[in-house]
Structure 1
Amino acid sequence: MSVARFKDLCVDVSCPSAMVAFWGRVLGLTSPADNPNVLVGEVPEKTIWMCQVPEPRTVKQRVHLDVQTGSIDGLVREGATVQSPATEEQHWTVMEDPEGGEFCGFVRDTVPAYRLMELVVDSADPEAQARWWAGVVGGDVGSRPGQPYYWLENVPGLPFPYWVFVPVPEAKTVKNRIHWDVTAPALQPVLDAGATLLRPKDDEIGWHVCADPEGNEFCVFLS
């Protein structure tokens, strides 16, 4: 039985206005007039907060977004840069957003209005990560024979189809620039599942900052 529910996404950025404009166009989201640093969709779970931070991106992001698009040229016109073109073996284009953050573009004949396809997390042990998060937020663990990656699908509240965990050799060294928030009736069951409390809710923040077993930061809002 899950102990939390997916809430939304947060992206660390240097210039919120530029990144709101870029990601709004790329993902098919809008920014409300009374809160220009957030993107919203027709359900609350599609919310993406653009959080201004002083530190720039310095290493490859361990969390990135995969998006659906009608053309790679269209993403370039929006302000993205091609890092690695698609090939016969790799059916996606690795790109960078205006601040250098990696994301992948998947060309589709038909593109939905909301174009976020999946959240991808670099992992030392993708299977363990997928099963841990399934225990926290629910959903089904998927895999393909002979393939090293695992994913979650049918996660309650998840506004995109897949949450993917892929193997990488390098260890996590800095705070992730993309993280997710969850809601939970209580914090302790999340900690009992194996999360680490990094910063408790206090007078400055209204949520608990935690980390999963591989150190990926996420925030817990008590419901």
Structure 2
Amino acid sequence: MVSEQLRRVTHPMAQFDGLAIDVSDVEAQAEFWRVALGGRVREDGDGQLRVVPGPGRPGREIMRLREVERPGPDDARVHVDLRLPGEEPHGLVAAGARLVRSPGPDPWFVLADPEGNQFCAFGASDGRSPGMFELVVKCADPYGLARWWAAVLGGEVEEEGEAASVAGAPDFPWDYMVFDPVPGINQYRGRVHWHLVGREREPFALLQAGATVMAEPARTRPWWVLADPEGNRFCVSPPPTG
């Protein structure tokens, strides 16, 4: 019998396929995240812009810019963590970021992109490469949600005090998917979600595992919009044909 660990590596329910963020000024946000991620801006087939990986960056490090007339409120329910090339975020501020908070008891900067979406930036240390290194999801039950996403994407759950993370998931482009406990999570809103590519044309396995349907595919949006057990939105496209 195939071990559970091997099954997660060889047969995850879906593959991670990058992030998406609701924005009002697509071009400005694309340029900012191009600088922040060290990537390139590319136009999708439907005319939308996305930031795709630059040289040496993981293939699934994608940021889709989803144009909406009025982006909803954002409480950083989902945010990214970056490593800086130096000790200060001068390059990000020059590109349009706003400093929200300097390091204090927590040893990282909190910044906001030009439309106010917050993210964290860590000063250079230990010779590790700059760039994005983890995706953070605020939640009520970090261990339960980490186990759920490890079952979906593969990888192993790691304990981090009150938080939990998933590491080693196939196709996940960063070191960790972190689940951070916060009180009153139902009051938190966000503009960032993520995309998956399913193993089947319809997400039966995800629904059976506990996902819920927020929207079925439509002519202009050929993917499912689902929510995980704590209501975090994600999109699932069918596997490529041919």
The TM-score normalised by the length of structure 1 is 0.91
Q: Which stretch shifts more, 180-189 or 210-219?
A: 180-189
Quote how far apart the aligned CAs of 1:5 are. 1.2
Cα 1:14–1:111 shift into 2, 3 Å: farther
Out of 84, 88, 92, which is 2:101 matched to?
Answer: 84
Cα 1:56–1:185 shift into 2, 3 Å: closer
Equivalent-residue separation in structure 2 for 1:183 and 1:77 (angstroms): 35
State percent identity of aligned pairs: 35
8 Å contact from structure 2 (residues 53, 62) kept in 1: yes
SS at match of 2:34: helix
SS at match of 1:32: strand
Out of 162, 186, 191, which is 1:148 matched to?
Answer: 162
1:201 maps onto 2:221 in alignment: no
When the two chains are superposed, the root-mean-square deviation of aligned CA atoms in Å is 1.9
8 Å contact from structure 2 (residues 158, 165) kept in 1: yes
- Name the counterpart of 1:164: 178
Trace 1:1-223 onto structure 2 (pairs within 5 A). 1=8, 2-32=12-42, 37-41=49-53, 44-69=59-84, 70=86, 71-87=88-104, 89-109=105-125, 110=127, 112=129, 115-144=131-160, 147-173=161-187, 176-186=190-200, 187-223=203-239
- Kindly provide the CA deviation profile for residues 2-55 of structure 1, in whole angstroms up to 9, marking residues without a partner as x: 211111111111111001111110110111367671111165412211111122
8 Å contact from structure 1 (residues 175, 217) kept in 2: no
Q: Which stretch shifts more, 202-211 or 190-199?
A: 202-211
Equivalent-residue separation in structure 1 for 2:184 and 2:43 (angstroms): 41
Q: Give 5+ residue unaligned stretches, structure 1.
A: none
- Kindly provide the CA deviation profile for residues 61-106 of structure 1, in whole angstroms up to 9, marking residues without a partner as x: 200010111222222122111111102x311111111111110011
